[in-house]
Amino acid sequence: MACTSGGKSDVATVPEQFPVGLRVLVVDDDVICLRVLEQMLRKCMYKVTSCSQATVALNLLRERKGCFDIVLSDVHMPDMDGFKLLELVGLEMDLPVIMMSADGRTNLVMRGIRHGACDYLIKPIRDEELKNIWQHVVRKKWNEIKEHDYSGSMEDHDRQKRTIDDAEYASSVNEGADEVLKTQKKRRDSKDEDETELENDDPATTKKPRVVWSVELHQQFVSAVNQLGIDKAVPKRILELMNVPGLTRENVASHLQKFRLYLKRLSGVAQQQGGLPSSYCGPVEQNIKLASLGRFDIQALAASGQLPPQTLAALHAELLSRPPGNLVLPALDQRTLLHASLQGSKCIPVDQNVAYGQPLIKCSSNIAKQTSQPVMSNEDVLSEFAAWSSKNLGDMVPACNFGTEVETNSNMLISFIQQQQQKQSVIPEPGRSINVQPSCLVVPSQSSPNFQTGNSPVSVNQNCGFRNLAMDYNNPLLQSNNSSGAGQNMEVECKPVRMHSEFGTAASVSSASSCSKNIQDSACQRVPSSPSTISVVMQIPTMNRVPSSHSGKPDLVEVSTRNPIYVGKGPSIPSRFAVDEHELPMSNMGQVKLYAENNGNKVKQEPNDLTENATLKYKTSWLHHGLVAVTENAACNWFLVSIVTDPALIRQNTNQEVESVRHAYLYDFGSGSSVAVRLVRHLKGVGRVKGGAHIFPVANCKGWIEKKWVNRTRSLGDFWQKVALLV
């Protein structure tokens, strides 16, 4: 039966007379009930739309997003179970849903609550009961605001996350990644800003000034931390050392927290076997990209101060997030990082392995060691890196170990890979890469020769690419770097990807390619092009085979994820997506899946090719049934964490990767939303998901309902593109 919409022409909504004009959608297959409810609601001065079929109601909700405030649904309906509708509405549109039934048995009511109903009314419903349904709308809105506030408040958020992380190490890694992502996102947001700025990214009514950690600022932070020593670095002292006007201790504290988390995460990753949190990969990747960006930058960074491993990590993160953007150094725990590197150091050959990762590490280590070491000669750097990287890589390795990482972004990743591969002969570009950055991306562009393992051509590029990333946080730098080796890098980028394919790891390839692409793009084209799509590869336990598979592919950051899961994070912010033109990642992404199977030629795809059509093409061809987990950083930037296309994997991995995601937004590609729903519920149950989990059917890409997304992506289509490409 069609829906009869009522009340449209009724009483004009007078905002002041809330709850007058509350837009209610009633769904009930019992027409009598429907009619009665309709009338009752009209009497309450609400705007009523009634539907006797759940499927029709769902379509209505999807089409007219934002046109309803609350949904009343019957439990027993012929075409769809009321609870299922309840879940879908909660997930897709995040509207309060009230269940109704003539059956008031406790177990049913309990089910309703468990499925997320705001309330459960027993028929016959009295009008007094309906009069107060507005409370659910208000309550939900306020909770959302509070949540925004919460996430907006880095300190609180980080603190909480920290506690959680501390409690669960494994997940902490993810959290750290999230943190990094968040910080990265923040950076991205303010990529144009060099200084600390206040930013209102809270879409909710509450506005919180936010400090944007620009690259410079982060560098200052890192150097301050290095000066003090990670153990002794207290916010107060860091603040003093940084001497930035307008920066508060709280800002520093939260940033430090993140940084520590990042480091911890890196080290934690090293410890973990497989199943790297995608978030983890993401930042790393990004970093890599950044790392490759500018040798010069790296130098600058190196010169700017000692970069402890943490810093490296931070830089990595920064790099990853956005070459041009600010570097937000994740709070990496130096210890952990070192720890991780130690663990993972197996793979790192001193000189050779350095390859990307190492150089970075070296740099960082160098940096760490020498407070103000200027660019070191390549050799020195290399050696140092090698040494350090072996330590640090260990940390990083975790990421690599899992094989996932799409590293293009960070040298760290590179280093991981290198470690993994043992042959990473990428020699960090002397001088260039070294300087930098903690991101360890230091990959001297010239080091291409290092890549050996058959990837030499690629490796070269890779190195270059990576180097660029590492080196240059900012696009400009990247560009400059790229220019130096850019030509090569560009090409290389693709190749690495291919290389991956050889190894059968598709996932990373894409990332690599994407990275490279991004680099290319960014390098060549625009500054702002942050490694848009660095895909954060969510490591699924199955993933990590790559390291073993390709040894000597130092460059390839990619994470070979067997699973098509990977997180692609474009410049990670959905908005970024819109902004970013780096289609590459996207293409790569799509490829990623393919990569696993195919050879990486796909990587080659020119990012330029990415077009709407391309994305859609990928979308339709790739997305059949899967979940996209997206995480959100404190800056409320969205990061695509992973794309899981195999529901079974989702189930398997829920405890790991997904749990690490702080805000999971699941995109269900197929009609089997039940898996997604269960996953979401699981996430919510373990407290990993804040906010809603949103399921968006593939078929309805326009139906990406989530105001938050829209706000941040600025364009649904763009985000969707990114997602599609990732897959």
CB environment 175-193: b (16+ within 10 A), e (fewer): bbbbbbbbbbbbbbbbbeb
Tell how strand 97-101 and strand 119-122 pair up.
parallel
Least spacing, CB of residue 119 vs other proteins, in Å: 18
Q: How far is the CB of 89 from other proteins (least distance, A)?
A: 21
Phi and psi (nearest 5°) for 205? -65, -30
Nearer to other proteins, 4 or 205 (CB): 4
Q: Report which secondary-structure segment, H or E, holds 72.
A: strand 70-74
How far CA 549 is from CA of 459, 499, 526, in Å, comes to: 15, 10, 34
Q: Is the Cβ of residue 125 or residue 499 nearer to other proteins in the bound state? A: 125
Alpha-carbon distance of 479 to 507, in angstroms, equals 26
Q: Which is nearer to other proteins, 33 or 573 (CB)?
A: 33
Q: What residues form DSSP beta bridges with 73? A: 27, 99
In this structure, which amino acid lies at residue 647?
P
Q: Which residues contact 548 (CB under 8 A, 6 or more apart)?
A: 403, 420
Distances (CA, A) of 174 to 162, 185, 266, 538: 11, 16, 9, 9
Nearest to other proteins of 43, 232 (CB atom): 43
CB contact at 8 A, 481 and 294: yes
- Interface residues toward other proteins, by CB under 8 A: 29-33, 35-36, 39-40, 42-43, 74, 76, 78, 101-103, 123-127
CB of 86 to other proteins, least distance (A): 18
CB of 88 to other proteins, least distance (A): 21
Q: Which amino acid is at 449?
A: P
**Residue number, 125 or 441, with CB nearest to other proteins:** 125
Q: Which residue, 42 or 684, is less far from other proteins as judged by CB?
A: 42
Q: Nearest approach, Cβ of 677 to other proteins (angstroms)?
A: 23
Q: Shortest approach of other proteins to residue 592 CB, angstroms?
A: 45
Q: Give 53 or 631: the residue with its C-beta nearer to other proteins.
A: 53
| Chain CA centroid to CA 420, Å | 24
Nearest distance, CB of residue 30 and other proteins, angstroms: 5
Euclidean distance between CA atoms 523 and 584, whole angstroms: 13
To other proteins, the closest distance from the beta carbon of 3 in angstroms equals 16
Q: Which helix (H) or strand (E) holds 391?
A: helix 378-401
Give least dist CB 74 to other proteins, A. 8
Closest approach, Cβ 102 to other proteins, in A, equals 4
Q: Pick from 536, 527, 543, 534: which is nearest to 481 by CA?
A: 527
Rounded to an integer, what distance in angstroms lies between the CA atom of residue 475 and that of residue 289?
Answer: 10
List the one residue out of 44, 37, 51 whose CA is nearest residue 10: 44
Question: C-alpha distances in angstroms, 183 versus 57, 258, 262?
Answer: 39, 8, 10
Which CB atom, from 124 or from 449, has the smaller least distance to other proteins? 124
> 469: burial class by Cβ within 10 Å (0-12, 13-18, 19+)?
buried
Nearer to other proteins, 104 or 229 (CB): 104
Nearer to other proteins, 109 or 557 (CB): 109
What string of DSSP letters covers 191-204? TT--S--------S
